């Protein structure tokens, strides 16, 4: 038997199994100082490993060394069809069988944080949350920053990175395999680690978020890590890396891929959000707390990189998300879910047209996940007509009731074909980018014959 190990930031992690999968993770090649403007800039590498797992009983995977509590997973918040929700699974590491109740409480604290922090609070109906109970043989996590070194036998093999004292991470592919083996539905994964001290992080691939339960504000830290994993925004704080050797306040072409940071303060990526007459670079003073500008300092360095607002949860856990990160959260939500689960009367374009009496009032509905800010336009037309007639437009969602009269020829009523259409989009002021607004749009059409 050949043992395969994945080495992440100097830590050797065993990976077991047979199926191919692709890993996207950071490496630190020890780049020469000055290359790309700084030493030791993380880069990405694609690794193809053959990780083995056995299957039995359908699609359930049997992973060596992994034991689940009963039940394997529990749905903590069920808002409807997983096909039209952003399903978040919360999984624990370093919790023994005797500590599963503690993990249950920790997982609920994370869900409660999602319910209380914007924009997730307003859009919570777009989420489902699931708890995956994995039993570790020993409590804690791997930590070589303490004496003696701590190397407990945990299920997910999480660890504090040797490169940074509070960088708590894990082997993403293994964590994803364990989550898959639980049978829980999930789109995004968050890991609570029963570590004895504060910490949290994601790998540069931003696939799994990790946070230690032993932090005073650990639910907020997990929301911060979810900003990486779900909204795909980067840290806006400074201090973990030396200042990039750029001339201060020098506007450079952007080379950063994340939407909430830029090297170009003259026309940053978030130019649609800029507060009129705000100087750029924007002074980091209290009077500018609510403006959108270009504040210097982000992505671990104090110079040469700019962020949209003075405060943001991606900079300080106690602050709300800035307007740009908020919009990216909505972008992520609408990537995975739509405004409505379905429509009534039930009808698809491939169905036979509905048949109704000419004098019968018909009510058309969209089964929306939330009503607020859902701009809804209802319009009708006879099939022989080319132009639609708008009958009802509302800023918040409202159903539509109408009658569809039949044509009359020589006093006789003849069957008449109608089209009824519902056009919806999220008209919230939290969205200004056209591509994000377009992603929110949804429409449905009915064909009706009246007689």
**Tens digits of residue pLDDT in 345-401:** 999 999 999 999 988 999 999 999 999 999 999 999 999 999 999 889 999 999 999
Answer whether 4's CB lies under 8 Å from 15's CB.
yes
Q: Give the pLDDT confidence score for residue 164 in this predicted structure.
A: 85
CA 366 – CA 442 distance, rounded (Å): 10
Taken in order of first residue, the domains within the chain and their CATH numbers are 4-229 (3.40.390.10), 234-316 (no CATH), 340-450 (2.60.40)
Strands (E), 157-241: 159-160, 168-169, 188-193, 200-202, 208-212
Q: Give the pLDDT confidence score for residue 36 in this predicted structure.
A: 31
Q: Give the pLDDT confidence score for residue 314 in this predicted structure.
A: 98
Q: Residue 328: pLDDT above 80?
A: yes
Taking residues 115-123, what's their average pLDDT? 98
Q: How confident is residue 441, by pLDDT bands cut at 50, 70 and 90? A: very high
Answer whether 91's CB lies under 8 Å from 189's CB.
yes
Q: Give the pLDDT confidence score for residue 243 in this predicted structure.
A: 55
CA 300 – CA 347 distance, rounded (Å): 53
| Bridge partners of residue 38, in order along the sequence | none
| Cα of 89 vs its chain's centroid, Å | 12
* DSSP designation for 238: B
Sign of CA dihedral 185, 187, 192, 193: positive
Higher-pLDDT residue of 48 and 344 is: 344
Give, for 113, the enclosing helix (H) or strand (E): helix 100-116
Q: Give the pLDDT confidence score for residue 188 in this predicted structure.
A: 97
- 187-208 pLDDT tens trace: 999 999 999 999 999 998 899 9
Q: Which residue has the tokens 């949860």?
A: 313
Please report how many Cα atoms fall inside a 13 Å half-sphere around the Cα of residue 38, on the Cβ side.
17
Q: Give the pLDDT confidence score for residue 90 in this predicted structure.
A: 98
Here the contacts of 410-414 (C-beta below 8 Å, separation 24 or greater) are 413/358, 413/451, 414/451
Q: Give the pLDDT confidence score for residue 124 in this predicted structure.
A: 98
Helix axes 100-116, 218-229, angle to 10 degrees: 70
Q: Give the pLDDT confidence score for residue 122 in this predicted structure.
A: 98
| Bridge partners of residue 20, in order along the sequence | 50
Taking residues 38-58, what's their average pLDDT? 37
CA 52 – CA 209 distance, rounded (Å): 24
**Tokens matching residue 266:** 């003259």
Cα-Cα-Cα-Cα dihedral of 424, 427, 432, 435, to 10°?
-10
Q: How confident is residue 7, by pLDDT bands cut at 50, 70 and 90? A: low
CA 312 – CA 226 distance, rounded (Å): 14
Q: Residue 46: pLDDT above 70?
A: no
Least confident of 81-90, 262-271, 297-306, 363-372: 297-306
What 3-state DSSP class applies to 436?
helix
Q: Residue 248: pLDDT above 80?
A: no
- 418-437 pLDDT tens trace: 999 999 999 999 999 999 99
Helix/strand/coil percent split, the chain, to 5 = 15, 35, 50
Q: How confident is residue 244, by pLDDT bands cut at 50, 70 and 90? A: low
Answer whether 294's CB lies under 8 Å from 306's CB.
yes
Which conformational region is residue 273 in: left (phi greater than 0), alpha (psi within -120 to 50 degrees), or beta?
alpha
Nearest to 273 by CA among 294, 253, 254: 294
Q: Give the pLDDT confidence score for residue 249 in this predicted structure.
A: 57
Q: Residue 45: pLDDT above 50?
A: no
Q: How confident is residue 13, by pLDDT bands cut at 50, 70 and 90? A: low
Q: Give the pLDDT confidence score for residue 65 in this predicted structure.
A: 83
Q: Residue 122 burial by CB count (10 A; 0-12/13-18/19+): exposed, middle or buried?
A: middle
Taking residues 411-423, what's their average pLDDT? 94
**Tokens matching residue 312:** 């943001």
Taking residues 259-286, what's their average pLDDT? 96
CA 7 – CA 127 distance, rounded (Å): 34
Answer whether 433's CB lies under 8 Å from 270's CB.
no
The Cβ of residue 85 has, within 10 Å, a number of other Cβ atoms equal to: 24
The pTM of this model reads: 0.85
Per-chain mean pLDDT for the chain: 87
CA 220 – CA 206 distance, rounded (Å): 17
């Amino acid at each position: 038997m050949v043992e395969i190990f994945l080495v992440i930031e100097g830590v050797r992690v065993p990976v077991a199994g047979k199926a191919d999968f692709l890993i996207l993770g950071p490496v630190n090649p020890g780049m020469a100082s000055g290359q790309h403007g700084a030493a030791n800039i993380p880069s990405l590498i694609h690794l193809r490993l053959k990780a083995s797992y056995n299957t039995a009983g359908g699609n359930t995977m049997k992973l060596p060394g992994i034991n689940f509590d009963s039940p394997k997973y529990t749905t903590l918040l069920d808002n409807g069809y997983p096909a039209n929700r952003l399903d978040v699974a919360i999984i624990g590491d370093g919790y023994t069988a005797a500590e599963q109740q503690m993990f249950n409480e920790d997982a609920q604290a994370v869900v409660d944080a999602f319910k209380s922090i914007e924009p997730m609070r307003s859009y919570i109906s777009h989420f489902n949350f699931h708890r995956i109970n994995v039993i570790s043989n020993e409590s804690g996590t791997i930590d070589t920053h303490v004496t003696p070194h701590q190397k407990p036998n945990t299920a997910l093999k999480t660890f504090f990175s040797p490169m940074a004292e509070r960088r708590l991470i894990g082997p993403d592919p293994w964590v994803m395999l364990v989550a898959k083996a639980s049978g829980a539905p999930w789109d995004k994964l968050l890991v609570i680690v029963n570590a004895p001290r504060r910490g949290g992080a994601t790998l540069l691939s931003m696939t799994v978020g990790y946070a230690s339960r032993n932090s005073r504000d650990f639910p907020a830290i997990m929301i911060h890590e979810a900003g990486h994993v779900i909204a795909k925004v980067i840290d806006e704080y400074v201090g973990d890396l030396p200042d990039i050797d750029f001339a201060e306040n020098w506007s450079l072409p952007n080379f950063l891929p994340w939407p909430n940071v830029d090297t170009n303060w003259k026309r940053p990526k978030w130019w649609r959000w800029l507060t009129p007459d705000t100087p750029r670079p924007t002074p980091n003073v209290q009077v500018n707390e609510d403006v959108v500008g270009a504040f210097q300092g982000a992505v671990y360095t104090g110079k040469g990189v700019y962020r949209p607002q003075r405060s943001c949860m991606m900079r300080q856990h106690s602050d709300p998300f800035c307007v740009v990160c908020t919009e990216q959260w909505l972008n992520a939500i609408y990537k995975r879910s739509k405004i409505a689960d379905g429509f009534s009367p039930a009808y698809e374009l491939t169905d036979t047209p509905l048949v109704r009496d000419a004098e019968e009032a018909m009510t058309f509905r969209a089964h929306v996940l939330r009503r607020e800010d859902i701009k809804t336009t209802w319009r009708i037309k006879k099939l022989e007509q080319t132009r639609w007639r708008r009958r009802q437009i509302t800023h918040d969602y409202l159903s539509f009731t109408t009658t569809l009269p039949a044509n009359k020829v020589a006093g006789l009523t003849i069957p008449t074909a109608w089209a009824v259409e519902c056009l919806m989009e999220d008209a919230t002021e939290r969205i200004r980018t056209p591509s994000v607004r377009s992603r929110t749009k949804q429409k449905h059409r009915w064909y009706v014959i009246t007689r």
